[in-house]
Amino acid sequence: MDAQSYTAALADLRGVRDEIKKARATLARLETQRDKQIGLLAGHDKAKAERIAPAAGLSLAEIVALVPALAPDGLAADTPEKAPALGAASAAPDQPGDGTNLLAAEAPGAVAPAMNTPAQKTAPAQATPADAQTRHTAAQPSAGMPAEQGAPRTLPSIPDGAAGQGWFTHTANLLSQRPNFTQQARSTVFLDTDTGVLVHRSQTHRLSLGAGTAAEILTAVFHTVPEGVERIYITAGDPWHRDADRYPYLRDAVTAWLNAPTPGWRTDTGRGRDRMAGHFVHARHPVGRYQRENADSHVEIRSVGEWFDADGDDPHIVRDAFVLLWQALRRHWSDAVVMGSPSQTGRDLWTRTIPQRGQYAEGYPVLSEELRGLLHATAGQGRTELITPPQVPDQLPQLVEYDRTFAYAKHTWKSPVGTPRRVTAAAFAAWSEKEQMRALYGCGHWQVRVTVPGTWQHVGLLPAPGERAWHYPSTPGTTFTTWAGGPEIHTALANPITPWKVEILDGILWEDGKPLDDWAKKLKETWTNLTAQAHFQGASQQSRAAHLASRAVRAILLYGIGSFAQRPRMVTGTTPRTLERDVPPDAEIIGFDDEQITWQKPTGFSRDPNAHPEWAAAIWSGARAALLTQRHRDDNTYAGALHTPPGSVIAFRTDALYLTQPEPWPYHHQPGDYLLKGHLASPVTAPTTEEELLTLRDAGRAALAQTAGEA
């Protein structure tokens, strides 16, 4: 095979790869449709797994796994409801050790104590026995929860003995420390690529951008503005999407745009303290990093959508928003600098709140790589779940959206610090009930075996590993093994309806500390001040700028917390087509053209001194728990999904809750309060896909805004 044939064959192979991507997407959609149909069939009182299995092309066991209520009599002994319970008194394992070397589903557990529940007057009315039987039969995985399909993925466990104990330490010579330098500001311009309007300081220019390639943007900007511009914010136009129709996925279009030829420029390789190098490929908010050939001139092209939704605002308002943001931050941090992204800004500001005296004056140590990897695999972020018929009516009487205002800011007051310790099932069982409750109230991450109560008629409480993501089992009698944070475990044991059975298999327990409290308080005060400016500002342009600035503060906290999680890194690179053999052997080719090949490969965890996934995990767990139940002390009442009637919850989306009826929950403009965000007062068809839900969400927001305007 000659070189030309080899190149042609590679192109054909990549075409096959793209076809496989499309086929997999189609297959996933069909499997979702099939499983939804199985759920509908299971609602029939004479439904039998033996008849459904051949019609679905599945085995009897697969049907029973999807719909436990369809288990034939001969398999009844294998269902969760009739499986023997494993409690603290279970027989010891045959092999030596503490039992953690067994499979998590088989390991003996220690039953956690039931806790005091909120006042029963706040709990929703329970369904009648007839309703309970109906829901038990019909509660199936929905099309909106694909993670429940197929075999669940296996979550990692801590090894037994000395190997596992070796995880409970910190990475040597790696600490989060207060910086001893002043962050330098970057000269920034704001560009609308639809209109060509460029704003630089107080000056406005109109550019001709041609097709909107990176090369044309760089040429036009640097022809108009003097040398020294280091950051170009795109406020509208999304130029990286202009050829999206030519690619099967947006990410492919973005990759091609970032890596197109830029005469006179090359991909940036970083400089000085700034280790950010190479392009960042993101479907909607990419970052292009470029450096002049034979010169020390660096520039970023970024999307302002990382900070807030500009929603058609012209570049002048966007620039005013960044100026207001900087001024507001300077009231709390004299050396504050608005960096390229909210996550960079958030972490930089946090490091400047690290105490200069006291226990952690030398810095906060970083966990071992093993514990960071465990938290990465077992601590999810926001809860995203769509509940579809037959679990909810086909026709919804209304659709109401509640959104928790600045939600994560409410859960930063307590975070795990210090050297963590392991709590095995045997150790937990040996504690007094008071010690057990104190541990579960503390900063911990627990491996548990959970059983849904036989009378349960509401949404799921704890995340379980699905095939591709997390889901929330709610079928009565279901038993599953998972990891969860202390706030969620507490909710399962002290919810307003009935306690769940939770068996502790293993756990990680830290001291309680406040490493984020000062940082979060300053951001909350900044957010409050900007929100007040937006509300009371007379000039509409300044009011809008203040609103956008307040949204930017939210992004700083939200993405700052996310950056502590420090996911394993994925590096993107390019190699000339003439040197194809130099593509790293473990890299995945994600794009190519006549001149170069674009690839990406995982590089594991970097030596990031600010990697604290334990903080992100604790906040995310608290936020998910607050979606279920949250106390308002001043009003002596509760809010959340568990304080609604069974069957009225339609969806969860990170901080938002979608219901079939309004709720009288208090709203005082405080972080964590439930804000009424949208309301469709007329009956609507229940959404069965995320796209349908988002369409209804937008319609509900528009309807509520119109109602408020008329009032």
pLDDT tens, residue by residue, 355-412: 999 999 999 999 999 999 999 999 989 999 999 999 999 999 999 999 999 999 999 9
Whole-number Å distance between alpha carbons of 89 and 188: 65
Report helix, strand or coil for 215.
helix
pLDDT of residue 516 exceeding 80, the answer is yes
Q: Tokens 């919850």, residue? A: 649
Instruction: For residue 409, give every residue at least 6 positions away whose Cβ sits within 8 Å of its Cβ, in sequence order, or none.
Output: 520, 523, 524, 527, 557, 671, 672
Report helix, strand or coil for 458.
coil
pLDDT of residue 85 exceeding 60, the answer is no
How buried is 96 (Cβ within 10 angstroms: 0-12 exposed, 13-18 middle, 19+ buried)? Answer: exposed
> Of 432, 451, 504, 464, nearest to 98 (Cα)?
504
Q: Which residue blocks in 118-268 are alpha helix, DSSP H?
A: 129-138, 161-165, 214-224, 250-258
End-to-end distance of the chain based on CA atoms, in angstroms? 75
Q: How far is CA 399 from CA 119, 449, 647, 703, 710, in A?
A: 28, 34, 13, 11, 20
Token pair, residue 103, equals 């499979």
pLDDT of residue 711: 63
pLDDT 10s digits, 252-262: 899 999 999 99
Q: How far is CA 440 from CA 119, 435, 495, 675, in A?
A: 20, 9, 14, 30
Q: Which residue blocks in 259-334 are alpha helix, DSSP H?
A: 315-330
Q: Are 485 and 620 in contact (CB under 8 A)?
A: yes
| Parallel, antiparallel or unpaired: strands 596-604 and 630-632 | unpaired
pLDDT of residue 94: 33
pLDDT of residue 130: 32
Q: Are 139 and 475 in contact (CB under 8 A)?
A: yes
> Of 349, 32, 368, nearest to 171 (Cα)?
368
- Element (DSSP H or E) covering residue 35: helix 3-42
pLDDT of residue 154: 86
Q: Tell me the torsion sign for CA atoms 568, 572, 577, 578.
A: negative
pLDDT of residue 532 exceeding 70, the answer is yes
Q: Are 440 and 110 in contact (CB under 8 A)?
A: no
DSSP single-letter state for residue 527:
H
pLDDT 10s digits, 262-272: 999 998 876 65
More confident position, 516 or 102 = 516
Q: What average pLDDT does the segment 238-243 reach?
A: 94
Q: Letter for the amino acid at 368?
A: S
Instruction: For residue 390, give every residue at least 6 positions away whose Cβ sits within 8 Å of its Cβ, in sequence order, or none.
Output: 39, 40, 43, 138, 140
Quickly state the pLDDT bin for 580 (edges 50, 70, 90): confident
How buried is 398 (Cβ within 10 angstroms: 0-12 exposed, 13-18 middle, 19+ buried)? Answer: middle
DSSP single-letter state for residue 180:
S
Whole-number Å distance between alpha carbons of 328 and 552: 11
Whole-number Å distance between alpha carbons of 461 and 459: 7
Q: What average pLDDT does the segment 546-573 reach?
A: 88
pLDDT of residue 183: 87
Question: Other C-beta atoms within 10 Å of 645: how many?
Answer: 16
Q: Tell me the torsion sign for CA atoms 495, 499, 501, 506.
A: positive
pLDDT of residue 54 exceeding 80, the answer is no
| Parallel, antiparallel or unpaired: strands 479-485 and 444-451 | antiparallel
DSSP single-letter state for residue 478:
-
Whole-number Å distance between alpha carbons of 392 and 402: 18
Whole-number Å distance between alpha carbons of 472 and 642: 14
Quickly state the pLDDT bin for 71 (edges 50, 70, 90): low
Q: Which residue blocks in 154-246 are alpha helix, DSSP H?
A: 161-165, 214-224
Q: Are 463 and 484 in contact (CB under 8 A)?
A: yes
pLDDT of residue 123: 43
Q: Are 598 and 247 in contact (CB under 8 A)?
A: no
Q: Letter for the amino acid at 135?
A: R
Cβ burial 318-340 (10 Å sphere, 16+ → b, else e): bbbbbebbeebbeebbeebbbbb
Token pair, residue 469, equals 């993501």
Q: Tokens 């203040």, residue? A: 546
Quickly state the pLDDT bin for 101 (edges 50, 70, 90): very low
pLDDT 10s digits, 458-513: 999 999 998 878 999 999 999 999 999 999 999 999 999 999 999 999 999 999 99
pLDDT of residue 306 exceeding 80, the answer is yes
pLDDT of residue 144: 38
Report helix, strand or coil for 681.
coil
Instruction: For residue 183, give every residue at least 6 positions away whose Cβ sits within 8 Å of its Cβ, in sequence order, or none.
Output: 335, 337, 339, 348
Whole-number Å distance between alpha carbons of 81 and 478: 7
Q: Are 693 and 658 in contact (CB under 8 A)?
A: yes
Quote the mean pLDDT of the chain.
85
How buried is 265 (Cβ within 10 angstroms: 0-12 exposed, 13-18 middle, 19+ buried)? Answer: buried
Q: Tokens 């627990």, residue? A: 446
Q: Are 490 and 115 in contact (CB under 8 A)?
A: yes
pLDDT of residue 415: 96
Omega cis (within 30) before 96: no
pTM above 0.85, yes or no: no
pLDDT of residue 427 exceeding 90, the answer is yes
Quickly state the pLDDT bin for 75 (edges 50, 70, 90): very low
> Of 708, 700, 709, nearest to 401 (Cα)?
700
Q: Torsions phi, psi of 657, nearest 5?
A: -130, 130
Token pair, residue 639, equals 């809010």
Quickly state the pLDDT bin for 571 (edges 50, 70, 90): low
| Parallel, antiparallel or unpaired: strands 298-303 and 231-236 | parallel
Cβ burial 295-310 (10 Å sphere, 16+ → b, else e): eebbbbbbbbbbbbeb
pLDDT of residue 165 exceeding 90, the answer is yes
Question: Other C-beta atoms within 10 Å of 623: how many?
Answer: 23
Report helix, strand or coil for 304.
helix
Q: Tokens 């406020």, residue? A: 235
pLDDT of residue 644: 97
Report helix, strand or coil for 266.
strand
> Of 235, 233, 290, 231, nearest to 258 (Cα)?
290
Instruction: For residue 710, give every residue at least 6 positions away whose Cβ sits within 8 Å of its Cβ, in sequence order, or none.
Output: none
Q: Tell me the torsion sign for CA atoms 366, 372, 375, 376.
A: positive
